[in-house]
Structure 1
């Protein structure tokens, strides 16, 4: 029997006929799709992006009459789980999906939960798309794990020199939580900043910190030309930026961890209070295709699309997963779903066709190549997002 705490962590969402104009589904034909990520705490925006992305993709398919599965069209049901950004939560999430007969999921999101999720998912036959930046997010050891975007090792050599050339900084301090969710990506970023000619230092804080004024003081003492907030969760980023600006920092702020601009603006108070900022957009937010996706979300779901930049990435991941399930002819066999995914071209109704890569960095081609973007505020003026094409392998 589920405890009250566990029941509160588990959110099962069925996209109903009220949302989808009551299409006629094949009798007793249902496809289950999971969504695993932190739905509470400082990283909740990331987990909610996974949940909303999966629900939206399901709603689109259901509105069109269901997902083709053999000779039938099936209703897609989304079940989400709060993994709380911990390894234990990730493991619990995989066990929960297995117990509910779910063999494909959007997420887990962060490195700690991905670490806990993968061994259970491998044993249970659960295909999963994670946007984590952990060093071995995909590996031949876990052939059911796919990567929903590219990590710093892929786009860093492209974006960092562009940012350095634009803003002219010669030193950078990389900030991150002091666990695997922060250290894996931040160490790689620091190395790439150094290789690009900017002296890089790393500064870590205890996850769960709510007062960043001591860290802001340390940053001010070192006075780096840029502060890179890297993999700092959105809630923490807002507090850190607020206290850093209050301390008098007037250098450049970078966010190449994928948190986007919104938490930086929240910390500053308004976009007008920011002078020089650059950030990775894991999906190019002002591209017409992404704007169309958000318009469709509002029309179909009856509310504004999430502002978190992971939302389009994970909505596209859900599209790709559902396509794989359809081609495999089953939602109950993770091996068949993974095989179907490997043999197909990843496609999105919004972003078109992409490819697979990952062999060079990870030893397995299971990372999608939908393009990210680079956003900049230069001397107080927001620039158009530059779309960064990523080659397939």
Structure 2
């Protein structure tokens, strides 16, 4: 019994068998693997955010592998995705970073919210990990965490424009901003409070305990305050549907805004369809009716054998994964976070689906590591949903 090619002298083999041995050795030498992580809440109220990060990472890995792997110098390497459910908590974010470190993963798509990003980034700095987060917290990226990149744009980039457009359409003069009573809710709530006020809408803030499943008491407080519109963008998608259902059951007839990352689906679910809503306006973190996003979803279904996630954060995290893999390819390594981060900073972001983008963030965060790709703005007017408007975001 012969144990492998190395155990035999070449002269003992016919030429054709020698060629097979040499070819097998060369094939082994060419084998390589690139690993990236996907992190966010994948269960609970924020699950659609984390699952969007996972889907975006896995889709781009599949695209790379379909093309015989990611170009790494003179080799093409298979891309593998490892995922972690951080449970929407700071401790979960820290645990995610340590898990990825144990698996030699130094680049991730996600975290996707403020609590998990807060826990993740400090540990990721120690573990040497590049990451694209998708939170609206005030310090989503900063010079203190140079390996952190932002997958979507701060409300400072689009907030006043969208609020003004909604105000002009629906004629509201007061807004109640609803948010959970933790860092994620308070950071978003304060920014929205400021922006609505600057556009001439009188704001108020109403906080609730994260984990609430019965919003009837909150609905009564909203009814007693009688705001012209309510802003729900800081409310996780799973909570939004329950909140809206109970608000409408309590008799709320004002406008509803959702200038966060959840899109229209949770509100429409809670309302029982667009026909039940008089006035609804929302941010789409990607231009969901754009031909490029539609083509992305078609490609996803072809490769992944299932429909693409409907959450509008999916295209955002897919584009972030695309940039991350491009940075890894330029750096020629998936193990050196500093090289990957440097490659990302020097390249011009570009998506096969949305075209050329850019970097921004210096004015707001002090660091130019926020992707600038188009967003969308949607409205329901008198029970009719109109097409989502594409809004381009300038680079800095």
TM-score class, shorter: over 0.9
Q: Which residue is 1:135 aligned to?
A: 138
Aligned-partner Cα distance in 2 for 1:66–1:323: 12
Residue 55 of structure 1 and its aligned partner are, at CA, apart by: 0.3
Taking a change above 3 Å as real, the CA distance of residues 174 and 72 of structure 1, as seen in their structure-2 partners, is same
Q: Which residue is 1:264 aligned to?
A: 267
Q: Any conservation in 1 of the 2:60–2:318 contact (CA below 8 Å)? A: yes
Q: Which residue is 1:324 aligned to?
A: 327
Give SS of 2:282's match. Answer: strand
Give SS of 1:376's match. Answer: strand
The alignment status of 1:291 with 2:317, answered yes or no, reads: no
Aligned-partner Cα distance in 1 for 2:338–2:184: 28
Instruction: Report matched runs for 1:372-391 at 5 Å.
Output: 372-391=375-394
Q: Which residue is 2:162 aligned to?
A: 159
Higher deviation after alignment, 346-355 or 381-390: 381-390
Q: Which residue is 1:8 aligned to?
A: none
The alignment status of 1:212 with 2:204, answered yes or no, reads: no
The alignment status of 1:150 with 2:153, answered yes or no, reads: yes
Give SS of 1:76's match. Answer: strand
Deviation sequence 1:97-139 (CA, Å, 0-9, x none): 1111001000011000000011111111100000101101110
Residue 155 of structure 1 and its aligned partner are, at CA, apart by: 1.1
Q: Which residue is 2:31 aligned to?
A: 28
Q: Any conservation in 2 of the 1:25–1:66 contact (CA below 8 Å)? A: no
Aligned-partner Cα distance in 1 for 2:30–2:73: 14
How does the TM-score come out when normalised to structure 2? 0.92
Q: Any conservation in 1 of the 2:106–2:337 contact (CA below 8 Å)? A: yes
Residue 25 of structure 1 and its aligned partner are, at CA, apart by: 9.9
Give SS of 2:241's match. Answer: helix
How many residues get paired?
370
The alignment status of 1:102 with 2:105, answered yes or no, reads: yes
Instruction: Report matched runs for 1:288-367 at 5 Å.
Output: 288-367=291-370
Aligned-partner Cα distance in 1 for 2:190–2:390: 25
Residue 271 of structure 1 and its aligned partner are, at CA, apart by: 2.3
Query: Unpaired segments of 5 or more residues in structure 2?
Result: 1-26
Structure with greater Cα Rg: 2
Aligned-partner Cα distance in 1 for 2:177–2:60: 35
Q: Which residue is 2:201 aligned to?
A: 198
Q: Any conservation in 2 of the 1:131–1:149 contact (CA below 8 Å)? A: yes
Q: Any conservation in 2 of the 1:34–1:102 contact (CA below 8 Å)? A: yes
The alignment status of 1:78 with 2:81, answered yes or no, reads: yes
Deviation sequence 1:19-41 (CA, Å, 0-9, x none): xxxxx997430000100100111
Q: Any conservation in 1 of the 2:189–2:205 contact (CA below 8 Å)? A: yes
Aligned-partner Cα distance in 2 for 1:376–1:368: 25
Give SS of 2:53's match. Answer: helix
Deviation sequence 1:232-275 (CA, Å, 0-9, x none): 00000000000000111111010001210000111011222222
Higher deviation after alignment, 100-109 or 267-276: 267-276
Deviation sequence 1:1-49 (CA, Å, 0-9, x none): xxxxxxxxxxxxxxxxxxxxxxx99743000010010011111111000
How does the TM-score come out when normalised to structure 1? 0.93
Aligned-partner Cα distance in 1 for 2:92–2:43: 12
The alignment status of 1:57 with 2:66, answered yes or no, reads: no
Give SS of 2:143's match. Answer: coil
Q: Which residue is 1:234 aligned to?
A: 237
Q: Which residue is 1:93 aligned to?
A: 96
Give SS of 1:189's match. Answer: helix
Give SS of 1:384's match. Answer: strand
Aligned-partner Cα distance in 2 for 1:158–1:242: 28
Query: Unpaired segments of 5 or more residues in structure 1?
Result: 1-23
Taking a change above 3 Å as real, the CA distance of residues 214 and 66 of structure 1, as seen in their structure-2 partners, is same
**Aligned partner (choices 177, 183, 187) of residue 184 of structure 1:** 187
Residue 342 of structure 1 and its aligned partner are, at CA, apart by: 0.2
Taking a change above 3 Å as real, the CA distance of residues 83 and 373 of structure 1, as seen in their structure-2 partners, is same
